[in-house]
Amino acid sequence: MKHVINIAMKSVYVLMPVTIVMAFLWAPPAELLGDYSRIIYFHVPLAWVSVLAFVVSGILSVIFLLDKKNRFSGLDGKSFNSAAIGLAFTVCTVMTGSIWAKLSWGSFWNWDPRETSIVFILLIYIAYFCLQAALAGKSSRGKIGSSYLIVAMATLPFFVFLIPRIVWSLHPETIINVNRTIYMDDQMWITLLTALISFSVLYVYLFNLMNRIMVLKHRIGEHPHAAD
């Protein structure tokens, strides 16, 4: 099983370059936006991974609080790592979205419902890291942080799915909409699907790497003179 996971992790070195080549050289430009539309192959996957990472952090937090017998170790640290990846990807989502907004609407920021929602998400998770920093060294840090992540996860459907759909938005109509129609060329949606898979694997790769580093730091902390 571990061998399969390692192969999956290493696939990121192939998938990411393939995604870049497909996005810039294989997929055709959109009719209205032209080559500007190619940023969608990075903006959408970044947004997807940010939500995925936040959801994973919330689920791990639930398991951490329910695990009274400590059958699973380091869940609070893993949820922290996943939230950190989510925050980093959210910042990248804002950056790529701002570039797209400038090219499409002439302004980097327009307080569009989706833009406003992502600001609230950023503030929620920035507050989490501030809380974790304030509780450093305290035994209640894990439980309080996990409780916060669960509440934060509960707000995601509201900010990600509800608000952008009940308020008029400058954003283009969603690719998969109420009519269940995919408004994309075949090459475009294949490229987007490849990008979503690639960035998802990248998330798993980073998450696994951060967790391994966390374990090593813990072992070094238990045996500070082992490296001498």
Q: What is the mean pLDDT of residues 119-130?
A: 93
Mean pLDDT of 32-55: 88
Q: Which of 7-11, 32-36, 45-49, 215-219 is the least confident region?
A: 32-36
Report the distance separating Cα 69 and Cα 114, nearest Å: 41
Residue type, 151: V
Residues 6+ apart with CB under 8 A from 209: none
Say which residue, 187 or 34, is predicted with more confidence. 187
Predicted local confidence at residue 176, as pLDDT? 44
pTM of the model: 0.86
Q: Do the beta carbons of residue 47 and residue 192 sit within 8 Å?
A: no
The alpha carbon dihedral of 61, 62, 68, 72 has a sign of: negative
Q: Average pLDDT for residues 124-135, to the nearest whole number?
A: 93
* Rounded Cα distance, 197 and 45, in Å: 8
Q: Looking at residues 56-64, what average pLDDT do you find?
A: 94
Residue labelled with tokens 């539309």:
37
> b/e string for 120-139 if b means 16 or more Cβ within 10 A?
ebbebbeebeeebeeeeeee
Summarised one tens digit per residue, pLDDT across range 142-182 is 889 999 999 999 999 888 877 766 765 556 555 444 454 55
Q: Is pLDDT at 87 greater than 90 in this prediction?
A: yes
Neighbours of 109 (CB within 10 A): 14
Burial of 192 (0-12, 13-18, 19+ CB in 10 A): buried
Break the chain into its structural domains and give their ranges: 40-170+197-222
What pLDDT shows up at residue 27? 85
